[in-house]
Amino acid sequence: MAHIRFRSAVAPLRRNLSHRPVQLPTVDRMVADLQPAEPMHCIRPQVLSATARRFIDLFDRAVGGDVLYAVKCNPDPAFLRALYRGGVRHFDCASPAEIRIVRQMFADAHVHYMHPVKNRAAIAKAWNDFAVRDFSLDSQEELDKILAVTGANDDLGLFIRLAMPKGAAAYDLSGKFGATLEEAVALLRRARPLARRLGVCFHVGSQMMDPAAYEAGIAIAGRVIAAAGVAIDVVDVGGGFPVAYPDMTPPDLQLYMDAIARGIAALNLPRETRIWCEPGRALVAAGGSVVVQVERRRGGDELFINDGIYGSLSDAGVPAFRFPCRLIRRSDAPLMPFSFWGPTCDSADRMKGPFLLPTDIREGDWIEIGQLGAYGATLRTEFNGFDQARLVEVVDQPLLATPGHRILPQLLEMAA
């Protein structure tokens, strides 16, 4: 037990990369052995590897393209290792820190700097220190920065981020990035003579519940390509692929692949054109959970727990995501809805839920909260000093399976 790893919220990329978390057989056994007083992050490496392998296989069969893992979703080395074992070789990075950890861990990785707005120092570090050659942009100013820093090198990959309309995503991403049709056409024409690889990319929004959004996004990309009249090497359909939550059941993953395949087929692109995608949540959400402890029960349906919106449960705050949860002890009591309060002194540290748990839950009990491999530990802060957590590997199945994403036992065996 001395090898349990503690995690610091403020430096998730500065750990000893060779240090592996201890592996225990199940979450219940871990709680019984460790009696954790801090939040305990549980990693399911076999689930992560199997999920990655299935996603890559489906995307390859649909369009024969490349899957870029969105590192911002969870940059923990244990997660990255498991995804690599599942076949991930391309990584969508948004900062030099993310690029660094991928380069340190995987010598053969393909790293793509897909943040559309970067400062010159970050571009220089990516180019000079980490041999990154692919850059996303959505403005003439950004193109000028990239060209100035890299010296307009003939090995450049330039990818124009397109503006997208608002859609049926849980997180709308249409307001911050994206070139209009006219801007994108001008950028493609300017970039074509300068780029060894030229592409268009877009993002339909995070936790996108409508497969048709990808087909619509590809159609927008097609109009831009046709208007620009230049050869395109890559079409990147972005991320946003959803997972299940207690009140969100997305369509089968195959329907998303079918929509992408239809959209790409309609463009009638040259055979050599590569198709990319950038999944994050869909690859890692089910591979992580957090165990919290009840510190107080108040008023019948309110639970004070030792993690909250400044920790792993940011999405349970204002975004009001509901996560699957279970009591870690035997109980035959019926379920009832609870809300959570986090451990900080901030009254905003509240998670309305409802979270369904047995009526006999009490102070000292442990709760496992699932689907937190995505944007859980990654968003932890040190506010009020509640930044400590432990990290363990377990072999349990996820608390909640997404239709079309279910990890079959044989896939788990293959990923082991």
Dist CA 231 CA 217 (whole Å): 19
Q: According to the model, what pLDDT value does residue 22 have?
A: 56
Phi, psi of 154 (to 5 degrees): -80, 5
Q: According to the model, what pLDDT value does residue 275 have?
A: 98
Q: According to the model, what pLDDT value does residue 4 have?
A: 52
Decide if 93 is catalytic. Answer: no
Dist CA 269 CA 219 (whole Å): 12
Packing angle between helix 45-63 and helix 77-85, nearest 10 degrees? 50
Beta-carbon contacts of 271 under 8 Å, excluding residues fewer than 6 positions away, are none
Q: According to the model, what pLDDT value does residue 401 have?
A: 66
Is 328 within 8 Å of 343 (Cβ atoms)? no
The gap from C-alpha 387 to its chain's centroid, in whole angstroms, comes to: 21
Tokens (6 digits) for 335: 């379920």
Q: According to the model, what pLDDT value does residue 24 have?
A: 62
Task: Output DSSP code: residue 245.
Answer: B
- Closest C-alpha among 216, 97, 115 to residue 159: 115
Is 182 within 8 Å of 143 (Cβ atoms)? no
Q: According to the model, what pLDDT value does residue 172 have?
A: 81
**What's the CATH number for 5-44+285-412?**
2.40.37.10
Q: Which of 42, 277, 325, 345 is catalytic?
A: 345
| Fold exhibited by the domain 46-284 | TIM Barrel (3.20.20)
Q: According to the model, what pLDDT value does residue 21 have?
A: 58
Instruction: Show me where the domains of the chain are located.
Output: 5-44+285-412, 46-284
Strand partners, 294: 305
- Closest C-alpha among 218, 112, 123 to residue 162: 218
pLDDT tens digit at each of 416 positions of the chain: 434 555 543 244 344 444 555 556 899 999 999 999 999 999 999 999 999 999 999 999 999 999 999 999 999 999 999 999 999 999 999 999 999 999 999 999 999 999 999 999 999 999 999 999 999 999 999 999 999 999 977 899 999 999 998 887 887 888 899 999 999 999 999 999 999 999 999 999 999 999 999 999 999 999 999 999 999 999 999 999 999 999 889 999 999 999 999 999 999 999 999 999 999 999 999 999 999 999 999 999 999 999 999 999 999 998 899 999 999 999 999 999 999 999 999 999 999 999 999 999 999 999 999 999 999 888 889 999 988 888 899 999 999 865 554 444 444 444 44
| Sign, CA torsion 10/16/18/23 | negative
- Closest C-alpha among 178, 179, 185 to residue 229: 185
Return the amino acid letter for 99.
I
Return the amino acid letter for 9.
A
Is 274 within 8 Å of 66 (Cβ atoms)? yes
Alpha helices in 106-139 (DSSP H): 120-124, 130
The reported pTM is 0.91
SS3 label, residue 215: helix
Tokens (6 digits) for 272: 């050599």
400-411 per-residue burial string, b: 16 or more CB within 10 A, e: under 16: bebebbbbeeeb
Dist CA 361 CA 268 (whole Å): 59
Beta-carbon contacts of 409 under 8 Å, excluding residues fewer than 6 positions away, are none
